[in-house]
Amino acid sequence: MRSAKFALAVIALALVAACSTTYKSKPQMNYYSGQKVPDLYITVLKASPAEIEFRVQVKFVMQKMYHLVLDGNEPVAQGWFSTQRAGGEAYTVKMKAAEGKGFEPGKTYRLCIGEQSPEAVQMTSSSYMCKVDYTFVFQEK
C-alpha cells in the first residue's frame, strides 16, 4: 500500500513537471512560410526603429488575425489585429517593437499573419503556420 502511494506521488510529480516545462512564456517556434503574396498586396506605409505600419490588401474570413514581424524565428513585434475594412480594399496594421527590440535599417524581416497566437500553438506544436508570409527589407519612412 505504501509503495503504491509512493508510485502515484512520483507519477503525479512527473506529470506536473512535464506540464510545467511544456509552456513557455516566450515559445521557441518555427514559423513556416504560408502563401507568399505579391508586393502590391502588402506595403509598408510608415517605419521607424520603434514602430512599423502596413497596408494589407489580403482578404481574410476571420475578423482578427495574429500578426508577427519576425527576425528569422524571433518575433520583434506581434499582436492581434482586425482584418476588417471600413469600406475600402485594405486594412492597416500599426505594430510597435517589443520592449528591448527594434527594427534595423537594411535588415530583412517577415510579416507573418496567422490564425492563432504562438502561445496557443506551442501547447500542441513547435511549428507555426503563417497563412500569409511577406518578406521585406526594413527602411525608415
**3-state percent breakdown (helix, strand, coil) of the chain, nearest 5:** 20, 40, 40
pLDDT beyond 80 at 101: yes
Sign, CA torsion 82/107/25/9? positive
* 27-137 CATH, one of 3.40.30, 3.30.43, 2.60.40, 2.20.28: 2.60.40
**pLDDT of the residue at 76:** 97
pLDDT tens-digit readout, 30-88: 888 877 888 889 999 999 999 999 999 999 999 999 999 999 999 999 999 999 987 78
